[in-house]
Structure 1
């Protein structure tokens, strides 16, 4: 059982850090969803010459850029710390948005999305790790859920721009709006974001590590919880993921993350176009992206509180099943009001199912391996993020837009099965004489990116 929160370590003490990470992830969500929000307008732009198959490929370029960015960030974070990497990430995806806004052809536009992906790659898991480190132990899932509401608020902002700015001024101006993060978020992060005590200790800066921990009411980090330095340290951390007590649970977490991110990025990229192909109007089709992100905000709040009570694994499994049911319902052409309702409730389950996979890693790995475990769960899951937009784009190019809903339903069922088997894998390890890692007793220590330890 997690220790009680101390008077000096509460949600109030984490609030400044949570607010800064919330802002960064807000812009992350806005950038990821901008493409889906304006894609119907881009496909109608004869001057750009964008086809459905190419559009799907470009969506995968973005997520492939995220994977490359995560691999790079995994090493850079060890050297320079979390705050500089976070600032660089925001700057990169803002620059990528500027390239997209001025692109004269699909190739240059794709290069801009790849550049944006490089910046986006390390941002989300980096913010998750920061918040998990600073959060009170008994409010870990709730704090994670609060952070992830920002992604969906950002998605709603992108949809709002797609509904208002794109028809009036053109889709390019929506991407110009994506440059705003460099102007707003970067100065705030440089001035106000604290460095991780775990990173400071790993860099040999014990005094600063203790001062930061004391300032935010954290327990002082120990060498056991701090990340090991150098390539050998990262290799040892990866080996720990396949220790006898977690060797079966690790691939199950990877599979659940693969299915979850296939859903998240497949839906974010293609939902408006799929609904347009199903016979709904342009405004309604783009509005569905707004509605599903609104559902995502509600879902994060519900999932966080529910997981704190019943466990992240149970919540994630149930949420995945409900997502699959929602995707199948969307395949039927319902009335507009009924479709809005289905999209909204599907958003409640879809996005938080994946976030609860992240929260579940703390029940599988010991504290010294949780940062690396989270990095690999998110990093391997990115292959689903790459596959999803490409696969649905290929189906749409062949005239089978509605088959995308079947793909999403299958991904939901796959994620549910994988995450539900994690407790069985841990019990199997116990039966074989290995003690599974205890439940989380504190925040995650040490730097984490989506592929921490992979390089």
Structure 2
């Protein structure tokens, strides 16, 4: 009897390798994304670079604007150089950009670092999702992507601990130096991460793809028909023909409000909790609890949507998010606040995902990718606006309205997604379960 592992075992090992490497990359993505919010209370209290709340809001928007650029260009760049190379480039970019923040001597240089980091952060996540989708075992793609998404929130948890352990005794620059550490991970990706099978097939490197798929008993993806620019514009125009235009705008508005809420809270949670009178240590603990809720929410939302329907879950989730965020504007006992922060994290971080699920399910197969992509893209303008809005409220001494404003964004998304879902019957052909997760943030 041969002692060599079976094809099934080798396939599982390859899937575990790819998912594990991508999970670590997304962990570093989350760390870099959340580190700014975690150190922000210290930056404001010490008036580093003369920073004020409104300037802090601008800085938060720089990163999210960079993410918008990165997300919109990731697909085109990946099609040219490959998903593996793009992942390596993104990790390198946001790591070096954090180093620029660490050595910056002015607000302008710090802002440039955050913008460049955002480009890398925005390009990494959709690329990593594409990679794990290629190598996920049959029937487990949605579960695999859901597990990958937990890494982003694990990075948020890590950012809070980095801030707690380093900022007070060493200084805020040390926190950004930690975000340079992922550079050491680049050689690991170069050596062990295989190229995307979809990319190899699309580039006509079928022999290479077939050999890799056969070696690990992975199903070779079918060659997708290339879409021309005219095809893409036809798909976009289809979203506005007949009565579709109102539904499309409602989905876009819901996505705008949803990502305004997600990134507004992610950037300003520690600072707003500090303004409510909580100690800095407690404010950073809330970041940990919030992201723990995000992990739980990502694992729960999909199952709930399968049972009750994605549109209904999205609307209910946003309502519960708005209630939780609104409660945070009231100073409560620390234990009660911790519970509210956890539940808010559960609902907030997966409510936006359910918008994509709704759009995906209710679109036709030939417009689905365009519908989800544009809903995500428009929503990212909300991601830019959210951090800016929090800064403006604090700068005008209306910081107590911060949580209220974010709660109203949740209410608006609940209304928009609810109306859009009621106006359109469910399509007879459902989207793949993983489609809705591809652009979840």
TM-score normalised over the length of structure 1:
0.85
* 1:260 corresponds to 2:258: yes
Question: RCO higher in 1 or 2 (8 Å CA, sep ≥ 6)?
Answer: 1
Comparing 418-427 and 36-45, the one that deviates more: 418-427
Aligned length: 433
Match of 1:198 in 2: 198
Whether the 8 Å contact between 2:90 and 2:123 is mirrored in structure 1 is: yes
Match of 2:5 in 1: none
Compared CA separation, residues 376 and 17, structure 1 to 2 (3 A):
farther
Whether the 8 Å contact between 1:379 and 1:450 is mirrored in structure 2 is: no
The 5 Å alignment of 1:298-317 reads: 298-317=296-315
Whether the 8 Å contact between 1:361 and 1:374 is mirrored in structure 2 is: yes
Q: CA deviation at 1:221?
A: 3.3
Q: Distance in 2 between matches of 1:13 and 1:240?
A: 40
Compared CA separation, residues 318 and 214, structure 1 to 2 (3 A):
farther
Match of 1:3 in 2: none
Q: Encode CA deviations 1:314-338: one digit per residue, 9 max, x unaligned.
A: 3322211110110111111111111
Match of 2:94 in 1: 93
Match of 1:25 in 2: 26
Match of 2:49 in 1: 48
Q: Encode CA deviations 1:242-261: one digit per residue, 9 max, x unaligned.
A: 57696554433333322221
Match of 1:417 in 2: 415
Whether the 8 Å contact between 1:295 and 1:346 is mirrored in structure 2 is: yes
Whether the 8 Å contact between 1:61 and 1:386 is mirrored in structure 2 is: yes
Q: CA deviation at 1:188?
A: 3.0
Q: Distance in 1 between matches of 2:300 and 2:244?
A: 29
Match of 1:351 in 2: 349
Whether the 8 Å contact between 2:239 and 2:371 is mirrored in structure 1 is: yes
Q: Distance in 1 between matches of 2:299 and 2:199?
A: 29
The 5 Å alignment of 1:227-238 reads: 228=226, 231-232=229-230, 234-236=232-234, 238=236
Compared CA separation, residues 238 and 123, structure 1 to 2 (3 A):
farther
Compared CA separation, residues 267 and 131, structure 1 to 2 (3 A):
same
Whether the 8 Å contact between 2:142 and 2:433 is mirrored in structure 1 is: no
Q: CA deviation at 1:355?
A: 2.4
Comparing 364-373 and 142-151, the one that deviates more: 364-373
* 1:440 corresponds to 2:431: yes
Q: Distance in 1 between matches of 2:364 and 2:200?
A: 21
* 1:336 corresponds to 2:334: yes
- Helix, strand or coil for the counterpart of 2:87? helix
Whether the 8 Å contact between 1:245 and 1:426 is mirrored in structure 2 is: no
Q: CA deviation at 1:136?
A: 5.7
Q: Distance in 2 between matches of 1:54 and 1:172?
A: 18
Whether the 8 Å contact between 1:78 and 1:229 is mirrored in structure 2 is: no
Q: CA deviation at 1:217?
A: 5.9
Any gaps of 5 or more consecutive residues in structure 2? 1-7
* 1:382 corresponds to 2:380: yes
Match of 1:115 in 2: 116
Deviant stretches of 4+, over 6 Å: 7-13, 243-246, 448-451
Whether the 8 Å contact between 2:273 and 2:283 is mirrored in structure 1 is: yes
Q: CA deviation at 1:289?
A: 1.1
Match of 1:15 in 2: 16
Whether the 8 Å contact between 1:129 and 1:371 is mirrored in structure 2 is: no
Q: CA deviation at 1:190?
A: 2.5
Whether the 8 Å contact between 1:137 and 1:441 is mirrored in structure 2 is: no
Q: Encode CA deviations 1:348-373: one digit per residue, 9 max, x unaligned.
A: 11111122333444313455654444
Q: Distance in 2 between matches of 1:281 and 1:399?
A: 20
Compared CA separation, residues 450 and 150, structure 1 to 2 (3 A):
closer
Compared CA separation, residues 265 and 367, structure 1 to 2 (3 A):
same
Match of 2:161 in 1: 160
Q: Distance in 2 between matches of 1:91 and 1:368?
A: 35
Match of 2:4 in 1: none
Q: Distance in 1 between matches of 2:87 and 2:40?
A: 28
* 1:124 corresponds to 2:115: no
Q: CA deviation at 1:425?
A: 4.1
Match of 1:284 in 2: 282
Q: CA deviation at 1:117?
A: 0.8
Q: Distance in 1 between matches of 2:238 and 2:9?
A: 32
